[in-house]
Amino acid sequence: MIGIDAIDGKLLDAVQAGIPLVERPYRALGEGLGLTEGDVLERIARLKADSIIRNIGAIFDTSRLGYRSSLVGFRLREERVDEAAVLVNAHPGVSHNYLRSFAFSNDYRPAAYCPYNMWFTLAVAPESQLGLETSMAVLARDAGANAARLFPALRVFKIGVRLDMDAEAAGVRKETGNFFTGNGAVGNGLSPTERQIVRVLQHDLALVEEPFREVARQCELDVEAVLAGAQELLQRNIMRRFAAILNHRKAGYAGNVMVAWPVPEEKVEAVGLQMAQFRAVSHCYQRPAYPEWPFTLFTMVHQKSREACEETVAAISLEAGISDYAMLWTTREFKKVRLKYFTEDYAAWEEKAATRIPSKAPLEPSDQAVAHGLAR
């Protein structure tokens, strides 16, 4: 990490936890750290200039805004990957898109599996005419996927990337608390004013003493109304937190891996809660298993190196008593942005896509396809 001292580390931990929703948030941050408002502004400006802080803004619960979302897995031939990434990335509801490779624990090999190699998140707006399944089907056909699956979250045990700036151990640090305050409920009960507040708060917060004055101007409200509206969204768990998002690599976290665990249904809850306690685990979900995909729990692990990731995963495996797992390592990053809500881009994409709806359902790997080499 270039240019990060001990005070920067404490500040980065604080801004990831949450920015105070008050008229002078940077002064409030400084008071908790023994820094002046000017020092906080200067340090954050430098950390942003060095691309360590990506942005500061509201982090929303997608489902509570009325959006439907899912992780998606595509199986693509190598020669199709680049073109497919461009087509997939064009959907406004795709915020993250990666090419991933498989590595299994010890001698573990599932009896049958399909190595989905492109993994991305897909969201559709509350007013969507096509819906999640049809949108994925259009993307699968356009991309030339050999196989495609939706992996929606059935249960969320933890969500939220918070890189531990003081961690010295290889991912064994634990944390306690309520890692996910939502209950998965889908809602669409926002007023027009609340929608406007969401539209503005999702953008990067200015580095000035009273940044919410500009937010209020764009919302055509006074500052007190904006802050009260933001607090209301936070209390209703529509906003998960108002915080900084860091650039993993620039912050010293060069390693990240998605781990898929074949946990029996009756053990999913206990194991999911156990895995969520590891500080290095940023996301922990239960997702559906399929004949060609026997994995029920997904965890995202962020660490300072690949080796540290492997040590963390081994520690999780030992404590949870789950020795079989698949590690999906990122080999290419095609897209990584904040999802934008309540824009016209979704309707525009669907209008064009409506002429390309496949006559058949998305490709699902057949037992024969898995047995005859698609999965190998």
Asked if residues 365 and 372 have their Cβ atoms less than 8 Å apart, the reply is: no
Bridge partner list, 261: 297
| HSE value, Cβ hemisphere, 13 Å, CA-based, for 361 | 4
Q: Which residues of 52-84 are buried (b: 16+ CB within 10 A; e: fewer)?
A: bbbbbbbbbbbbbbbbbbbbbbbbbeeebbeeb
Q: Nearest CA to 258 among 330, 331, 342, 336?
A: 330
Residue with tokens 């194991």: 271
Residues 374 and 309: their CA atoms lie apart, in Å, by 28
Angstrom distance (rounded) from CA 229 to CA 223:
10
Written as one letter, the residue type at 301 is V
Q: For the chain, count helices (H), then strands (E).
A: 12, 11
Burial 279-311 (b: 16+ CB within 10 A, else e): bbbbbbbbbebbebbbbbbbbbbbbbeeebbbb
Point out the catalytic residue in the list 91, 96, 203, 302: 96
**Residue 96 is a catalytic residue:** yes
How far is it, in rounded angstroms, from Cα 196 to Cα 200? 6
Position 170, amino acid? A
Give the residue among 98, 47, 101, 53 at the shortest CA–CA distance from 71.
98
Whole-number Å distance between alpha carbons of 34 and 14? 12
Rounded CA separation 155/135 (Å): 23
- Catalytically annotated residues: 96
